[in-house]
Chains A and B, each alone.
Chain A
Amino acid sequence: MEQNTEAKRIMALSLGKMYSSRSQRGGLRLHRSLLLTLVMRSAQDIYHSSRVVTEIWPANGQHAQKALPAEEPMDTSGAQFQTCALTTSPEDSQLRCAKSDENKENLEPVRSNRRTRKRRGKAAGEPDFLPSKRARIRMEAAEELLSAQVTELCGTNCLSERTCSSHVL
């Protein structure tokens, strides 16, 4: 459990660093981004192996396997090193829906506005070629997921570095 805690904390930290490095002066540093990604992966591996043992999602047993955020492949072009966005499984989108219950009122009008604003031609509904907006929402959900879990653990410091170093990856 400690390993799991540690891994989650490091994942949250790494995510935070990745996001803040985007606004860094001088652009994304490839070396730093690479190191952050490596730490992220290590933490995810630990998290994954711990999650199989400890049930975080008691509601649905099968989610324990699938629920881990998998890393999207890094999309890089030239100097713009786009760091990975965490994709989430369907289970996480459930979480998103649950959390955004309060927001439903706000979400609905936006959606209907969007639909009504679009000119309805012969083809009904949105055309296929429009980019899906899901990616960004997933990122936010993953962030929520991790920050929620980090706040659960708030107060516990990374005391034992020994737990870190005793991990055999």
Chain B
Amino acid sequence: MLFPLPAVHLPPSEHHPLLQLPHGRYGEGGGGGGGEDCEGCVCVCVSTTPPMEEDIDTRKINSSFLRDHNYATEADIISTVEFNATGELLATGDKGGRVVVFQREQESKNQPQRRGEYNVYSTFQSHEPEFDYLKSLEIEEKINKIRWLPQHNAAYFLLSTNDKTVKLWKISERDKRPEGYNLKDEDGRIRDPATITTLRVPVLRPMDLMVEATARRVYSNAHTYHINSISVNSDYETFMSTDDLRINLWNLEITNKSFNIVDIKPANMEELTEVITAAEFHPNQCNTFVYSSSKGSIRLCDMRASALCDNHSKFFEEPEDPSNRSFFSEIISSISDVKFSHNGRYLMTRDYLTVKVWDLNMESKPLETYQVHDYLRSKLCSLYENDCIFDKFECVWNGSDSVIMTGSYNNFFRMFDRNTKRDVTLEASRENSKPRAILKPRKVCLGGKRRKDEISVDSLDFSKKILHTAWHPSENIIAVAATNNLYIFQDKVN
């Protein structure tokens, strides 16, 4: 078995306001009107025990299925998913510029089966569409990335970014309010001073919990090109934002200045051959970061070496296999995501067809290469036609760096166990997520006789793609974004 997962028990309910994801429908400041039901995403908690053997383990877990969402509003399409450092919170960003934060329920002794479900905690509009008048360009409000800051006090902080602007949001709870003012009464009306005969000290009284999100910093006007990543440094003082050609280093406190640490813009734009596709800070070395390129290479840089890190310390690239050369070789070798392992010893990169794990000490070739959906190699022309070849898949490590996960088409996502070398394909879909159902491993039939339960390559739905996934930092809980639906899968416990 890939990993044992404890069960999640959700009571089935048609009207489950806590579990309905309010994408696009409610939230402070102007989603839908009050009382409007959520038509947005679906939160499904099912357990998964992906068995490696042919016959499926019949342990069944409960799962509750919420409001169906047949049509997809474009604004509801989830564009990023991220757990915070403890896994207590899960944030999602969407194309409409909204951020929805989920909080894990505290485990209660009364209902031991209900372990840690995720409920909506806060919803806010992070970015609005803007217009750059100078260039006559619309700036999309789509949230490209969310990154949590480590928690220092009762409030939570996250960074969210669209194409041009990064914002620092503070999410805090308010459960008390002051009562007994002297100069105004309980409704807020000013009292006539002549009627005041005694003075009293306002006291804090409990109120219904209110979660509010406020923008504490806005880091803008630093990027000419589109921001594709942000990464918080382990020094917890700085972060970097990356666009196609430049990487800027910011101090979290200072919004009117940033330092440019990487600039690959050629003097003559006609000579442009590669762009930066992703970047990340090392998890424990605050001077080290990596960035990936559209040519399939990764550069590791040390900020101690020089102020401008155009010269890399390490250069990771695998020579191309000449037998696989095609019109589309450049596109499929472009790296769409790069992630350090939690222990900081490995790097993982995702290109169109594979996931590679690199050892930081070996630059010549990856340590491991996993084929995500190699059956698409012969379909590259069609995928070019329907634009799917430009899809940018992300990849994630599990907490112990033993399993990696990435998405594919037809709402499939794949997990690879690095130790046992086993892999599994699972599907995030409503049909497969009946109550108490375990996720069944899926298989794509490569040709020849199609077995029962297999799906042939031509039947894959390329409009259903899983680009964004997240793994809880310490437990086996994963969040999978399938277009505008969010699936949360947990382990089963007996």
Which of A's residues lie within 8 Å of B, judged by CB?
Answer: 6-7, 10, 13, 17, 25-27, 29-32, 34-35, 38-39, 42-43, 46, 73-81, 158, 161-162, 164-165, 167-169
Contact = CB atoms under 8 A, between A and B. Distances in A.
Given A35-B330, A161-B381, A26 B272 contact: no
B390 A32 contact: yes
B135 A80 contact: yes
A77 B136 CA distance: 13
Contacts of B225: 30, 79
Contact of A10 (B224, B327, B378, B390): B327
A82 B348 CA distance: 34
A51 B130 CA distance: 47
15 contacts: A25-B140, A30-B272, A31-B275, A31-B334, A35-B294, A39-B327, A73-B270, A74-B272, A78-B135, A81-B269, A158-B381, A162-B378, A164-B327, A167-B327, A168-B325
A10 B228 CA distance: 28
B258 interface: no
Given A35-B294, A39-B330, 5 more contacts: A10-B384, A26-B142, A30-B245, A42-B330, A77-B269
Contacts, number: 102
A23 B164 CA distance: 19
Contacts of B275: 30-31, 34
A130 to B, nearest CB: 24
Interface in B130-155: 135, 137-140, 142
A31 B294 contact: yes
A158 B270 CA distance: 31
Nearest to A158: B381
Nearest to A17: B387
Most buried by A among B142, B325, B326: B326
A72 B216 CA distance: 46
A161 B332 CA distance: 15
B163 interface: yes
B224 A78 contact: yes
A158 B382 contact: yes
A103 to B, nearest CB: 31
Nearest to B272: A34
A156 to B, nearest CB: 12
A118 to B, nearest CB: 30
A17 B269 CA distance: 20
Contacts of B379: 161
A35 B390 contact: yes
Interface of B: 135, 137-140, 142, 163, 224-226, 228, 244-245, 269-270, 272-275, 277, 294, 322, 324-328, 330-331, 334, 377-382, 384-385, 387, 390
Contacts of A169: 325
A119 to B, nearest CB: 32
Contacts of A161: 378-382
A7 B380 CA distance: 14
B384 A13 contact: yes
Contact of A31 (B139, B277, B325): B277
A164 B380 contact: yes
Nearest to A7: B327
A165 B326 contact: yes
B132 to A, nearest CB: 8
Contacts of B245: 30
Given A10-B384, A13-B385, A158-B381, A26 B326 contact: no
A81 B226 CA distance: 12
Nearest to A78: B224
B331 A164 contact: no
A168 B323 CA distance: 8
A42 B326 CA distance: 9
Nearest to B376: A161
Contact of B378 (A74, A165, A167): A165
B94 to A, nearest CB: 15
Contacts of A7: 327
Nearest to B163: A26
Contacts of B226: 26-27, 29-30
Contact of B328 (A31, A39, A76): A39
Nearest to B382: A158
Contacts of A78: 135, 224
A35 B137 contact: no
Contact of B331 (A38, A43, A46): A38
Given A32-B390, A74-B272, A161-B379, A79 B137 contact: yes
Contacts of B139: 26-27
Nearest to B225: A30
A40 to B, nearest CB: 10
A66 B98 CA distance: 54
Listed residue (A43, A76, A161) with the most chain B CB atoms within 10 angstroms of its CB: A161
Contacts of B163: 26
Contacts of B272: 30, 34, 74, 76
B325 A79 contact: no
Contact of B294 (A27, A34, A39, A168): A34
In the A-B complex, list the 8 residue pairs whose CB atoms are closest, starting with the nearest.
A76-B269, A26-B140, A27-B137, A165-B326, A73-B270, A30-B244, A161-B378, A158-B381
Nearest to A166: B326
A39 B325 contact: no
A164 B277 contact: no
A34 B387 CA distance: 14
Contacts of B324: 165
Contact of A167 (B325, B382, B384): B325
Contacts of A25: 138, 140
A29 B275 CA distance: 11
Contact of B330 (A29, A30, A38, A75): A38
Contacts of A46: 327
Given A27-B137, A35-B330, A164 B294 contact: no
